[in-house]
Amino acid sequence: MLSAGPQRLLLLLLLSCVTLVLLFQVVDAKRDLTGACVTCQQITDNFNKGLERTVKQNFGGGNTAWEERKLSKYETSEIRLMEIVEGLCDSSSFECNRMVEEHEEHFETWWFKRKAKHPDLHKWFCIETIKVCCPKGTFGPHCNSCVGGSDRPCHGNGMCDGDGTRGGNGKCSCDHGYKGEFCLDCIDGYFNEVRNDTFSLCTECDTSCKTCTGATNQECDECKEGWEEDDQEACVDVNECANDSSPCEEDQYCLNTEGSYSCKACDSVCSGCTGAGPDKCQACASGYQDTEGTCTDIDECSQPEAVCIEEHRECINTKGSYTCICSSGYEEQDGECVQTPQPEKEEESESSETTTTPHGEL
Ligand SMILES: *[C@@H]1O[C@H](CO)[C@@H](O)[C@H](O)[C@H]1NC(C)=O
Ligand SMILES: *[C@@H]1O[C@H](CO)[C@@H](O)[C@H](O)[C@H]1NC(C)=O
């Protein structure tokens, strides 16, 4: 019994490993099916480029009329084919080189026997001969039609999975604005400007609509959040800031925007405000007073009520407040200002400071 536990665990581990490997193989095989077609497409593209590149070439050397007749023309020669085949792949592309190597005789067959009847190399080679691709609008091992038909997959409003390859499942991933299996339906915020069984054009609604039947704000089915219906049944912006109870904090003001609002910090001299700056205060913050509609700092030091009245103290005004410091030559000790001990030799320089610093400020 005791040994059953670890054994079972081991079995489980083994099973999950096998599952994982199988899963990866399936994924890999799928990628191979589309990947092989992409590789083949590159090869045939490069073949066509090679054809163009060699179109003006000849055998080199004395290309006389006699030689042309004798050796068959360069245009259809094996030498030209070899030159083109050599340029089909980057040396670093393993998949490409493998595919070319594996199917080299097909290029010869096509070059000498099929080219005239089947001029489209991609079609002849990738689709019909080595069967790694499908015709446009079809997908999968048997080249079935994509959802919506092979002429206009996804009704022209999306991409068919595996389109043109032997992979994929043929289902649509719709372009922005479209949804549904067939990409004929519109997503929220879009409406069908034109629609029948095979064709659909989805256009964006007015920004005020969540859903709509037309392009204006009077054609909303439902207003988006932040908009509301007015008397004419059009969706209009809600002014959240007009509400009796402001949605913002006390030291903020409300700024209405299309479909929303934002809260901005009041100026620091305000206690509550209706907008930005020291002239939009509802009341002044403590330490500030209303001066012709603007909150300004109170100079407590020059107020009639004396502040900093203790001995040897001086008043320093600050923004919104003041501080009491010890007069020069005195220093703070246990809440009192006591004379700073003055070493003999530095007496002169210290005393000269004493007279300038504080009185200059006052
Ligand atoms: C659907 O509409 C498109 C575009 O207006 C048109 O070309 C097509 O013929 C219509 N199809 C049908 C079945 O009505
Ligand atoms: C006004 O505020 C109340 C309470 O916060 C809220 O229920 C209401 O929706 C607001 N009205 C507007 C127009 O924002």
Closest CA to 45 of 91, 87, 75, 101: 87
According to the model, what pLDDT value does residue 310 have? 85
Q: What is the CATH number of domain 299-341?
A: 2.10.25
According to the model, what pLDDT value does residue 16 have? 74
Q: With 90 as the cut, is the pLDDT of residue 9 above it?
A: no
Distance 243 CA to ligand 2 centre (A): 6
Q: What sign does the CA torsion over 123, 124, 125, 128 have?
A: positive
Sketch the domain layout of the chain as residue ranges: 27-57+68-133, 205-237, 241-297, 299-341
Query: Is residue 91 within 6 Å of ligand 2 at its C-beta?
Result: no
Query: Is residue 130 within 6 Å of ligand 2 at its C-beta?
Result: no
According to the model, what pLDDT value does residue 7 have? 77
Distance 245 CA to ligand 2 centre (A): 7
According to the model, what pLDDT value does residue 32 have? 78
According to the model, what pLDDT value does residue 198 have? 94
What's the whole-number mean pLDDT along residues 105-115? 96
Ligand nearest to the CA of 155: 1
Tens-digit pLDDT profile for residues 250-291: 999 999 999 999 999 999 999 999 999 999 999 999 999 999
Ligand nearest to the CA of 241: 2
Tens-digit pLDDT profile for residues 130-181: 999 999 999 999 999 999 999 999 999 999 999 999 999 999 999 999 999 9
According to the model, what pLDDT value does residue 13 have? 72
Is the pLDDT higher at 23 or at 181?
181
What's the whole-number mean pLDDT along residues 70-95? 88
According to the model, what pLDDT value does residue 2 have? 47
According to the model, what pLDDT value does residue 354 have? 41
Q: Does the pTM exceed 0.75?
A: no
